[in-house]
Amino acid sequence: MSMKRLFAIMFFFMLVGWAPAVMASSGPTEALKPTLTDIMAILSNPSLAGNEQKLVRRSKIMDIAEQGFDFQEMSKRVLGKTWKKIDSQQREHFVGLFTKLLENVYIGKLEGYSGQEIVYKDERIKGKRAAVSTVVQDQQMLIPVNYIMIEKDASWQVYDINIEGVSLLRNYREQFKSILRKQKFEGLVKVLEEKNTSFDSEGS
């Protein structure tokens, strides 16, 4: 499987695996399940289909993702030590840029949804962290997908996803580490701003 297809599938199941905040006592697996139907409904709704509905459709998907995913935790982990060196305003700006990058790069791949099925296998909880293991049936393939979650304020949220041993977060961390080494944080911000702007131009 190509890396492009791998991460397209990864981001799809990262989003459709979201669920609204629930009491932690219900467990991380239960926190993943309830809104699968709602996400599928957005993707399969004829009134939201087509390029003319793209902005509305993608906005609805990201509204769900932003509530169910801890994008700040993702941003903190993808920056590593650099996160501690920047101030709150810089952190907020970076979280926005990184979230927008994920939307720009992967959300279009969601529109290729064609009825993939998810089977929940098990969950492993260690303190405030958990991993929920699933198997995704995509055409004739069985793809292992693990959701990495964190418990905050009595709810479980996803901050990484691992598919066939490949971590979305680790992939970006390695890319950003190279940029930070050469161009520092300001250089990374510029790269992300330019990348997001190029996506906006392509969609206009």
Shortest CA distance to 18 belongs to which of 62, 55, 50, 83?
Answer: 62
Delimit the domains of the chain by residue range: 3-203
Mean pLDDT of 23-40: 66
CA 100, CA 89: separation in Å to the nearest integer? 17
pLDDT at 37 over 80: no
Report the amino acid identity of residue 115.
Answer: G
| pLDDT, greater one: 167 or 141 | 167
Mean pLDDT of the chain: 82
Question: Is pTM beyond 0.85 here?
Answer: no
Q: Using the structure block, give the residue that is written with the tokens 């190029």.
A: 198
Per-residue pLDDT of 50-72, as tens digits, reads 888 888 988 888 887 777 789 99
* Whether the Cβ atoms of residue 20 and residue 35 lie closer than 8 Å to each other: yes
Q: Which residue has the higher pLDDT, 25 or 65?
A: 65
* CA gap 104, 141 in Å, rounded: 26
pLDDT grade, residue 182 (50/70/90)? very high
Assess whether pLDDT exceeds 80 at residue 32.
no
161 CB neighbour count, 10 Å cutoff: 23
Assign 3-state DSSP to the chain and report helix, strand, coil percentages, each to 5: 60, 20, 20
At 5, list the tokens. Answer: 């297809």
Which overall architecture, per CATH, does domain 3-203 show? Roll (3.10)
